[in-house]
Amino acid sequence: FNSLNHDMTLAEFKFIWYMEYSHRMWGRVVGLAYILPAAYFWHRGWLSRPLKGCVLALCGLVCFQGLLGWYMVKSGLEEKPDSYDIPRVSQYRLAAHLGSALVLYSASLWTGLSLLLPQHKLPETHQLLRLRQYAHGTTALIFLTALSGAFVAGLDAGLVYNSFPKMGERWIPDDLLAFSPLLRNIFENPTTVQFDHRILGIASVTAVTALYLFSRKIPLPHRTRMAVTSLLAVACVQ
């Protein structure tokens, strides 16, 4: 309000306040949905020793995620007196909050599916090993792409260029390496952040497509083939 939105009305403030409030309340509900059933199952003796480790790790991730959210809000907006840039939450803290949420979600899904679906006993062929390694690499690339999206959001980098595949009239914009030292550009230069996100997005879709084409050469169970096909479909929609 002091720096930018001088004419904000009370109704407009309530709108963003309720968005933030709903997010906090939903996060607390998620925490209770993890911790209360986990404590009940543990008390009833329904958890095996390995599963107890998984449950503790997941509950720890829930608490860590909440702690990161608290720290991000507590640290406030980054004001830059020497700049015309608007005050905003640090893109580093935003990326950390999103990254931990993705890890928590993925770990939850993996644990749940491991319990619900019996593991396929497949022969450890060279092709299957390569497919597994390639799938892990693709996962890491997609995770990195999502994190770069947090930097785009944190810096409003999506507003810099609105043309594709070129950025303005050029394939490589002039201000790509405008900041010094050079490493700052990757995390703080809106042009570079948008450029990197585009490249990572294209690389992710390419990797998913290659994973799908490679999987077609290997005899796989129906469930695995359906997962790879679904991955390609979601990548295209994204």
- Give a yes or no: residue 109 inside a domain: no
Count of CB atoms situated within 10 Å of the CB of 205: 16
Residues 93 and 134 in one domain: no
Residues 21 and 81 in one domain: yes
Q: Whole-angstrom Cα distance, residue 96 to residue 65?
A: 9
CB atoms within 10 A of CB 207: 20
Which amino acid belongs to residue 190? Answer: P
| 126 and 196 inside one domain | yes
Residue 186's pLDDT is 93
d(CA 16, CA 220): 48
Residue 143 within a domain: yes
Asked if residue 106 is part of any domain, the answer here is no
Q: DSSP letters of 134-200?
A: HHHHHHHHHHHHHHHHHHHHHHTGGGT---SSSBTTBSS-GGGG-SSSTHHHHHH-HHHHHHHHHHH
User: In whole numbers, what is the pLDDT of the chain averaged over residues?
Assistant: 91
Asked whether residue 127 falls in the same domain as residue 208, the answer is yes
Lowest mean pLDDT among 19-33, 52-66, 67-81: 67-81
Indicate the number of domains in the chain: 2
Residue 144, domain extent: 118-237
Does residue 32 fall inside a structural domain?
Answer: yes
| Same domain as 88, residue 19 | yes
pLDDT for the residue numbered 71: 92
Q: Is the same domain home to 88 and 125? A: no
* Residues 129, 89 share a domain: no
Average pLDDT in the 2-10 region?
Answer: 85
Q: Give the model confidence (pLDDT) of 101-140 as tens digits.
A: 999 999 999 999 999 988 878 888 889 999 999 999 999 9
- Asked whether residue 111 is domain-assigned, the answer is no
pTM: 0.86
Task: Let me know whether 122 and 226 are in one domain.
Answer: yes
Whether 107 is in a domain gets the answer: no
Checking if the pLDDT of 203 tops 80, the result is yes
Q: Are residues 124 and 231 in the same domain?
A: yes
If one counts every other C-beta atom within 10 angstroms of the C-beta of residue 27, the result is: 16
168, part of any domain: yes
CA angle 127, 131, 135 (to 5 degrees): 170
For residues 161 and 87, membership in a common domain is answered with: no
Confidence label for 84 from pLDDT (cuts 50, 70 and 90)? low
